[in-house]
Amino acid sequence: MEKSSRSLLTYVLVYLTFLYAPVFLLPIFAFNDSAIISLPLSGFTFDWFLMLWQTKALHEAFYNSMMIALISASLSTTLGIFAARATSRFEFPGKRGIVGFLMLPLVLPEIIVGVALLVVMIQLGLSLSAWTVVIGHVLVCTPFAIAILSSAFNSFDISLEEASLDLGVNKIGTFFRVILPMVAPGIISSFLIAFTISLDEFIIAFFLTGTDATLPVYIWGQLRFPARLPSIMALGFLMVLLSLLLLLVAEYFRRRSTQFSANSSASNESIL
């Protein structure tokens, strides 16, 4: 057993190297003093970060992406709260089918979502804007929000809710004063995950963006110009740091949201 687990560990380490290979290259080329992205390395520079600071189109794309991610994350988390509350506390006919339908975007190729919304916009004669991207991103983020929030809503003790009702607090008061504080870590975690997904989403944004390019759409445009690549590496490096920060905060709150449950492994599973 000992021996087989050790050879398995070797495989795990090789696999992790494969997973991390691109991530490790990012800072190397972000600080490399050469306009061509290739080995061998020449010298150390901050120029590419300075170049980012001076590119106005990038700042606009960054602003668009931030706004889109903020609104998409808020909306999908709100929809997720409704769905998670409904499925965790109430039984109703067709529940499985409805939840399956809500989770559909998880297994639908993104290009289909993009195409479908594009067709609607063209047929209704509406122009594409940041809002059409928001509509698409809410669709894609909601299943993740539902998965995270369901585990949060499932893992707190219902007797607390009943106690509040027995003590004469009405349903709305109970929701805001008992349920919401209990699931707050799950809400924060859901918001941050949805935010990160929206920030990084490319295919739907590419189809629906109109003139307000998002950050990934801007990057896609720049990938064609070899001269712009080193600064894109620098941008990627900054985005990795931002995503990591958001992810760690989300993970911290997700753990807090599951510590109410008696069996923490059960709630770890239901997130998936």
Partner 1 sequence: MANSSEISYLQQPAKRTFWSIPKAYQDSARGYFLISPPLLYSLVMLAAPLVLVVLLSLWTQNYLELDRTITLKNYVEAVTEPLYGLLISRSLMISGMVTLATVILAYPIAYYVAMFGGKRKSMWLLLITIPFWTSYLIRIFLWKVILGYNGVINGSLMGLGLIEEPLTFILYNANAVVLTLAHAWAPFAILPIYVSLSRIDKSLLEAARDLSDNAFQRFFRVTLPLSMPGVVAACLIVFIPTVGDYVTPKLLGGTDGLMIANMIQIQFGKANNAPLGSALAVVAMFIVAAISISFVLLTRRFLKTKG
User: In terms of CB distance, is 83 or 187 closer to partner 1?
Assistant: 83
User: In terms of CB distance, is 110 or 212 closer to partner 1?
Assistant: 110
Q: Which residues lie across from 44 on neighbouring strands?
A: 32
CB of 116 to partner 1, least distance (A): 4
User: In terms of CB distance, is 63 or 260 closer to partner 1?
Assistant: 260
Task: Report the distance separating Cα 47 and Cα 134, nearest Å.
Answer: 34
User: In terms of CB distance, is 40 or 168 closer to partner 1?
Assistant: 40
Please give the full DSSP string across 16-81, using - where no structure is assigned: HHHHHHHHHHHHHHHSBS-SS--SSP--B--HHHHHHHH-HHHHHHHHHHHHHHHHHHHHHHHHHH
CB of 144 within 8 A of CB of 194?
Answer: yes
User: In terms of CB distance, is 145 or 212 closer to partner 1?
Assistant: 145
CB of 168 to partner 1, least distance (A): 18
CB of 251 to partner 1, least distance (A): 6
CB of 99 to partner 1, least distance (A): 8
CB of 20 within 8 A of CB of 203?
Answer: no
User: In terms of CB distance, is 50 or 106 closer to partner 1?
Assistant: 106
CB of 191 to partner 1, least distance (A): 15
CB of 211 to partner 1, least distance (A): 16
User: In terms of CB distance, is 207 or 253 closer to partner 1?
Assistant: 207
Task: Report the distance separating Cα 44 and Cα 252, nearest Å.
Answer: 35
Size (the chain), residues: 272
User: In terms of CB distance, is 87 or 174 closer to partner 1?
Assistant: 87
Question: How many of the other CB atoms lie within 10 Å of CB of 201?
Answer: 25
Q: Looking up tokens 């109703």, which residue turns up?
A: 92
Segment holding 136, helix H or strand E = helix 130-154
CB of 56 to partner 1, least distance (A): 21
Closest CA to 183 of 249, 263, 259, 103: 259
CB of 30 within 8 A of CB of 16?
Answer: no
CB of 237 within 8 A of CB of 27?
Answer: yes
CB of 89 to partner 1, least distance (A): 7
Q: Looking up tokens 């809002």, which residue turns up?
A: 131
